[in-house]
Chains A and B, each alone.
Chain A
Amino acid sequence: MSETLHKTPLHALHLELGARMVPFAGYDMPVQYPLGVLKEHLHTREQAGLFDVSHMGQIRLAGNDAARALESLVPVDIVDLPVGLQRYAMFTNEQGGILDDLMVANLGNDELLLVVNAACKEQDLAHLRTHIGNRCEITPLFEERALLALQGPAAVTVLARLAPQVADMTFMQLRTVELMGTDCYVSRSGYTGEDGYEISVPANVAESLARCLLAEPEVQPIGLGARDSLRLEAGLCLYGHDMDQQTTPVQASLLWAISKVRRADGARAGGFPGAETIFAQQRDGVARKRVGLSPQERTPVREGAEIVDDHGQAVGIVCSGGFGPTCGAPVAMGYVDVEHAALDTPLFALVRGRRVALKVSKLPFTPPRYHRG
């Protein structure tokens, strides 16, 4: 029932904008606005889209041992993460499975800002407290801060009108920037494959900032529907769908996210849960891994569809799939046996009892347009 759902600080604004609301990770969230998913998606790629992602969990870690402590939970270099930079990471379990994926930013002054998935945030907080609660100060900012994402090629033009210095930032940089007279954490990052920003803003300023951004002619509000098709075209994983506790970073094709210094031959090798399993998989390979899949007809192939080879033998499963508006065609990702994971391997998905031809394809489906400077 809707009464039991949480609301973000922008809830009233979503209703005012005519959003269609759906329950998502315990929140009443906009899945689309009157523009509709297709046009919202295309608008984001062509101009700029504003997303309310305040349901995601922001957590601050503080203390001179915070970075080292966090490294005991993620296979990522946090100790040498420069001030003003953020990095993608994941919490692993003892089996090497992924408990959640997250962003970690170094705020300076021995403070780290984590952004975790909405559905996992209480569990992540408990995980942090259990394992590193005695090594640093852990502060959930769930009610205190909202998170807005401004994404698309015009995002820089729009946000620079409010704060010119954001134009100088490059991909994954983070700065404290004054917006609406309030200090915000602004990072040049996102979940669409486009250039853009994510803005951590005090909850009480979120609505006025959102209204201010929406008043710019390039900006449209974008719902969760287009957020999903944008991230899928960008080849980005959605936790709980494209990876979970039973999936390791190696299986999820996220090896790139494991920092060199934390790898088996690195200066600070291992020291995170499941390291031995992950290193063994790196060395010996895995049976199944995540790949891009291009359906060869117009039928979208969706999550859960079985993947078979030309003998009808089951060789995998689709983890995310749908129509890619920018591609103008269906796009999908799935887990397939490694002997079928080579680029251009022909496979089939079973959709309503019918075989839909697929080809293993390169990720992302749309060229990334991150501003690397």
Chain B
Amino acid sequence: MSELRFTEDHEWLRVEADGSVTVGITAYAQDALGDVVFVQLPELQHYEKGAEVSTVESVKAASGVYMPLTGEVVEVNEQLDANPEQVNEDPLGQGWFFRFVPDDADAVTALLDQDAYDRLLNANADA
């Protein structure tokens, strides 16, 4: 498995062998949301970075998931329609949301690495 990258919105990204990028939400994010009951997945289309492409509905509230980089969504995890709890049970695996092809393949490396994301979580915990 290639190294994970993260956004400040608690999404993770993983570059796959074919150059596409898989996106999901982190363990921290799913824990904060509580039990996920529904995920509205993106359309298979081009989105700008920062666009709200998906919504996670938990028992508590609805939260947006944002396009981490500009690119074309090429696949969504349709398993989540029937099994939204996979987001809680396996956020970095079966609970993935979508795959996209970034316009700029190098932009992924500019995102937070594991150390930087851990520091962000620690800073949040201290705040």
Interface residues in chain A, defined as those with a beta carbon under 8 Å from any beta carbon in chain B = 31-32, 36-39, 225, 229, 298-300, 302, 322-323, 325, 330, 352
Contact = CB atoms under 8 A, between A and B. Distances in A.
A330 B60 CA distance: 12
Interface residues of B, number: 14
Given A302-B61, A323-B59, 19 more contacts: A31-B60, A32-B34, A36-B34, A36-B35, A37-B34, A37-B35, A37-B60, A38-B35, A38-B85, A39-B35, A225-B34, A225-B60, A298-B38, A299-B40, A299-B57, A302-B62, A323-B37, A323-B38, A323-B57
B81 interface: yes
A363 B62 CA distance: 25
Nearest to A324: B37
Contacts of B61: 302
A299 B59 contact: no
14 contacts: A36-B34, A37-B34, A37-B35, A37-B59, A38-B35, A225-B59, A229-B59, A300-B37, A300-B62, A302-B62, A323-B57, A330-B37, A330-B38, A352-B62
Interface string B34-62: 11011010000000000000010101111
A300 B34 contact: no
Given A37-B60, A302-B62, A352 B55 contact: yes
B35 A299 contact: no
Contacts of A39: 35
Q: Most B CB atoms within 10 A — which of A39, A229, A322?
A: A322
A322 B55 CA distance: 15
Contacts, number: 40
B41 to A, nearest CB: 11
Nearest to A37: B59
A32 B32 CA distance: 12
Nearest to A354: B40
Contact of A38 (B38, B55, B59, B62): B59
B38 A300 contact: yes
Contact of A299 (B38, B60, B88): B38
Contacts of A38: 35, 37, 59, 85
Contacts of B38: 298-300, 323, 330
A330 B85 CA distance: 15
A129 to B, nearest CB: 37
Contacts of B35: 36-39
Contacts of B62: 300, 302, 352
A299 B88 CA distance: 18
Interface in B54-88: 55, 57, 59-62, 81, 85, 88
A35 to B, nearest CB: 10
A300 B57 CA distance: 7
Nearest to B64: A352
Contacts of B55: 352
Nearest to B59: A37
Contacts of A330: 37-38
Nearest to A328: B37
Contacts of A325: 59
* Residue among A225, A298, A325, A330 with the highest chain B CB neighbour number at 10 A: A298
B81 A322 contact: no
Nearest to B82: A298
A87 to B, nearest CB: 32
Nearest to B32: A20
B59 A298 contact: no
A130 B84 CA distance: 52
Contacts of A229: 59
A232 to B, nearest CB: 11
A322 B37 CA distance: 10
Contacts of B60: 31, 37, 225
B82 to A, nearest CB: 10
The 9 A-B residue pairs with the shortest CB-CB distance, nearest first, are A323-B37, A37-B59, A38-B35, A298-B38, A300-B57, A36-B35, A37-B35, A37-B34, A225-B59
A178 B108 CA distance: 65
A299 B40 CA distance: 8
Nearest to B55: A352
A300 B37 CA distance: 8
Contacts of B34: 32, 36-37, 225
Contacts of B40: 299
A30 to B, nearest CB: 13
